[in-house]
Amino acid sequence: MSPSPAVELQAVAKRFGDGPPILEDISLRAQPGEMVSVLGPSGCGKSTLLRLIAGLTPASAGSLRVEGRPAGDPAASVAFVFQEATLLPWLSVRANVEVPLRLGGAAAVDRASTSSRLLGLVGLGNRGDAYPRQLSGGQRMRVSLARALSLSPRLLLLDEPFGALDEMTRERLNEELLALQGAGGWTGFFVTHSVAEAVFLSHRILILSAHPGRLHKEVPVPLPHPRTAETRLQPDYLLLVAQVSRQLRAVSPAG
Amino acid sequence: MKSYLWLPLLFGAVLAADKPARITVQLDWVPEPEHGGFYQAQARGYFREEGLEVILLPGGPGAQVVPSVATGKADVGQADDISTLLQQAEGLPLVQFAAVFQDDPSGILVHADSSVRRFEDLQGKTVIARPGWPFLEFLKRKYDLSVKVVAQNFSSAAFLGNKEALQQGYYIAEPFHITQAGGKMPRFLSTWDAGFRGYAVLITNRRFARERPADLRAFTRAYIRGWRDYLEGDPSPAHTALKQANAQNTDAFMDFSRRMILGEKLVTGRDADGGPAKVGRLDPARYTAQIATLEELGLLKPGKVTAAAALTTEFLP
Amino acid sequence: MPRPNRRLLLPVVTGLLFLGLWQGMHLYLSDDLRFLLPSPEMVWRAWEEHGALLLRATANTAQGALLGFSLAVAVSAGLSLLLSLSASVRSSLYPYLMALQMTPLPILAPICVIWVGAGLRSVALLTFVIAFFPLVVNTTQGLIATDRNLVELFQLYRARRWQQLLLLRIPAALPYFFTGLRIAATISPIGAVVAEMNAGSSAGDGGGLGFQAVIFASQAKYAALFATAATTCLLGFALNAAVLALSWSALHAWHDAYERTDR
């Protein structure tokens, strides 16, 4: 049997107050080191799913476990990357990366070495003293990633992080993300609208249907690693993209 | 002219004659017995008899008599002559044409038990007054005093709260309010005791004096008549009107005020030549002396104003 | 014409046109009414004649304005923190703060005089009352309007309440605080002058600009009054400039409002 799952959900449901159910009967697993993408039409609860796993909001039913602990447990090392880079504009790039460390009480010396290393990893080693306002969208997202990795998380949740960027930047960041995962060994949950992105990044793709959000299909992505720009030209890749697109269309409302 | 043309002309003349001439008067304070002359004249119909319709505009703490009259918003105003002299020196087109009081009843209110007894005792003290009050400037220079001034708020509260307080006041009004509020009858350092002989006057702007001399003459006549009747006769017509004009005028207050006016001979004059004939009169010689004093004390720039230019007696009966 | 020169030149040109218009209007008035609008030259002469007096008065007014302003900053900082805690706190306190703000100064002035005495203390207190409301409102808004995403980020990293306040809410509120500060800096001199008119005293080195204005007005020295008004404006500009400089030094590195544009 494989090692205990990094993430395990069983029959999880979520509704806000007396509202309609957002998610219903979600059961899934993610293994350590896996990258799992979540695809679905608008309103299928993808973001809510991520927030449940992060422990930002409680489930209405079912169980969620992260590394064997309940979701939201302080000891579970989970990092979240939002749709917007959400950097603190009054802090330098370096200081932004150090924020989680600072909140955790780490010493300045440790903070400095970690932030230098991470900024190097995301290719911003010489921009440490810049302010967020001086950076491009892609650069800001890289800082956001570096910050997310600063506490060496075991699980990284990403909610459409590259959605606001242009195609070329997005593709490059996808490749960099995979490199970071290779180096860090964390498990990743990636919510996206883009089938191409989902196929490129993941080991598995979860397709959700909407109203309420349910797990419609699980699609394995048996493409080899490491995945590079070349991978996007492979027939297997293109075929998978077409297949997943069809699946997605099946659960998307007409028009 | 043909006979039938006379008729409409006559008719028109009659109509025109019937229409009373309007004069607006800006009072310097809320209506009080200091304005007795106006209200008695109005209540008794003296203005009407002279063919005048007089509108009395109440003033108050923020009363802007001089700007009002200088710009023509009001035709006539009540003010004190020395402040007016200083303003005339600045080029304001005003002319003083009748006296209200032969002596301005402004002065410094002093608590009965205060240590201040004479003007010299004001040294180093704080006086609640209108900033720039000429009398205070006069005292400072005459007695070589340094006195602190605190902005006047027109309430007796500050005065009542402090036994050593000194406040600018009107002799014929504030003492009443203070005794009403439970204080002892205050003493008064009056302007005439310091040799500061100011009038309270009626002023008008030069254009009005130029364009409507007959109305001004008629107005002055009726005013003097009203003042004399108020002081010598039965004041109740004025008092009724004053009560209507200002609800704060109680009978007790108005009687007090009138008694003070009579007692200090404010309208008829404290000097030897005082009397009913003096009501409303202005003495150019006194003005010349005032101007000289003010120039000496550095309050007035020499040559800026002369008695001849500042006042006129042509409208007095 | 190179750009920076044009920016300095334009107000000067407008100023000269304005002065010309002013002089023209003064001459156009009839002899009787000319006192209403002293000419620029008369105002300048009044400034020369009363220069020393106005300088002393400015120092006094500045003292009162700065004291009241500083007090307002200090109190509003604490009050804003309190108000940012919860909506219930805000609902309970806001109406009373507003009531204080809406009470006209001439009504508050005599009360202040009885409580703390006329002169600098009253002027400072009244200036404080005028200046602190925009500061409180803006700073409180800044403290509660923190970007939701950032708040969530801090939640994710299990930041404690004080960390959230110190490292997130307060820095995020700085631009709002400076907005309030600029408003307060503009109205503090005005408040001080009005306070002096109602609660001023000539103690010390003479009253301030407001006190002096009352004297000039009662003497119909209108040219001097204009000069006093101009001096008050200059005081306001000076305070404003100081706050702008402070604002710039705190925010220019990172705030969008200071982004260099090519226009």
Report DSSP state, residue A229. G
- Do the chains contact at A133 and C171, CB–CB below 8 Å? no
Q: Is residue C233 part of a domain?
A: yes
Torsion sign (Cα): B68, B72, B73, B77: positive
CATH (domain of C119): 1.10.3720.10
- Do the chains contact at C156 and A86, CB–CB below 8 Å? no
- Do the chains contact at C114 and B158, CB–CB below 8 Å? yes
Per CATH, the number for A7-77+153-251 is 3.40.50.300
How close C35 gets to chain B, by Cα (Å)?
6
Pairing of strands A35-39, A204-209: parallel
Q: How far is CA B290 from the centre of its chain?
A: 17
Each residue's pLDDT tens digit, C72-104: 999 999 999 999 988 999 999 999 988 988 888
Residues of chain B contacting residue C196, judged by C-beta atoms under 8 Å apart: 151
Q: Any idea of the CA torsion for B205, B207, B212, B216, to the nearest 10 degrees?
A: 10
Its pTM stands at 0.79
Q: Is residue C19 part of a domain?
A: no
ipTM given for this complex:
0.81
Res A91 pLDDT > 90: yes
Q: CA C112 to CA C125: how far, in whole Å?
A: 8
Res B188 pLDDT > 70: yes
Q: Which two tokens stand for residue C50?
A: 């009363």
Q: Is residue C17 part of a domain?
A: no
How close A1 gets to chain C, by Cα (Å)?
32
- Do the chains contact at C158 and A103, CB–CB below 8 Å? yes
Q: Which CATH superfamily is domain B21-103+198-310 in?
A: Periplasmic binding protein-like II (3.40.190.10)
Q: Which residue matches tokens 């002279």?
A: B50
Q: Which residue matches tokens 């799952």?
A: A5
The predicted model gives B99-109 an average pLDDT of 92
Alpha helices (H) in chain B, listed in sequence order: 3-18, 36-44, 46-49, 65-70, 81-88, 134-142, 157-161, 174-180, 206-211, 213-232, 236-245, 251-263, 284-296, 307-310
Q: CA C158 to CA C164: how far, in whole Å?
A: 9
Residues of chain C contacting residue B93, judged by C-beta atoms under 8 Å apart: 31-33, 35
Report the residue of A50, A53, A103, A129 to disrupt the C interface, i.e. the one with the largest count of C CBs within 10 Å.
A103
The confidence score (pLDDT) of residue A104 equals 86
Residues of chain A contacting residue C256, judged by C-beta atoms under 8 Å apart: 89, 133
Closest Cβ opposite residue C220 in set B90, B157, B161: B90
Res C182 pLDDT > 60: yes
Q: Is residue C243 part of a domain?
A: yes
Domain boundaries defined on chain A: 7-77+153-251, 88-152
Sheet holding A61-66, edge to edge: A21-30, A7-15, A61-66, A69-70
Please provide the size of chain C in residues: 263
The residue range of the domain holding C50 is 44-253
Cis peptide, bond prior to residue A226, ω within 30 of zero: yes
CATH topology for B106-194 is D-Maltodextrin-Binding Protein; domain 2 (3.40.190)
The predicted model gives A205-211 an average pLDDT of 88
Q: CA A72 to CA A51: how far, in whole Å?
A: 10
- Do the chains contact at C35 and B207, CB–CB below 8 Å? no
Report DSSP state, residue B183. P
Sheet holding A187-191, edge to edge: A78-81, A155-159, A187-191, A35-39, A204-209, A214-220
- Do the chains contact at C200 and B131, CB–CB below 8 Å? yes
Res B112 pLDDT > 90: no
- Do the chains contact at A88 and C168, CB–CB below 8 Å? yes
Count Cβ–Cβ pairs < 8 Å, chain B vs chain C: 81
- Do the chains contact at A131 and C253, CB–CB below 8 Å? yes
Q: Per-residue DSSP letters for B258-290? A: HHHHHHTTTTT-SSTT-SGGGTT---HHHHHHH
Q: Which C positions 76-135 lie with beta carbon below 8 A of chain B?
A: 109-110, 113-114, 118-119
B21-103+198-310 and B106-194 in the same fold: yes
Residues of chain C contacting residue A54, judged by C-beta atoms under 8 Å apart: 156
Q: CA B307 to CA B286: how far, in whole Å?
A: 9
- Do the chains contact at C110 and B153, CB–CB below 8 Å? yes
Q: Is residue C33 part of a domain?
A: no
Q: Is residue C136 part of a domain?
A: yes
The confidence score (pLDDT) of residue B8 equals 65
Report the residue of A73, A86, A92 to disrupt the C interface, i.e. the one with the largest count of C CBs within 10 Å.
A86
Total tally of structural domains belonging to chain C: 1
Q: Is residue C39 part of a domain?
A: no
Domain boundaries defined on chain B: 21-103+198-310, 106-194
Pairing of strands A204-209, A214-220: antiparallel
SS3 B60: coil
Contact (CB, 8 A) for A195 and A238: no
Q: Per-residue DSSP letters for A63-95? A: EEEETTEETT-TTS-EEEE-SS----TTS-HHH
Each residue's pLDDT tens digit, B267-283: 998 888 888 889 999 99
Residues of chain B contacting residue C199, judged by C-beta atoms under 8 Å apart: 151, 153
The confidence score (pLDDT) of residue B13 equals 59
Count Cβ–Cβ pairs < 8 Å, chain A vs chain C: 52
% of chain B beyond a pLDDT of 70: 94
Cis peptide, bond prior to residue A132, ω within 30 of zero: no
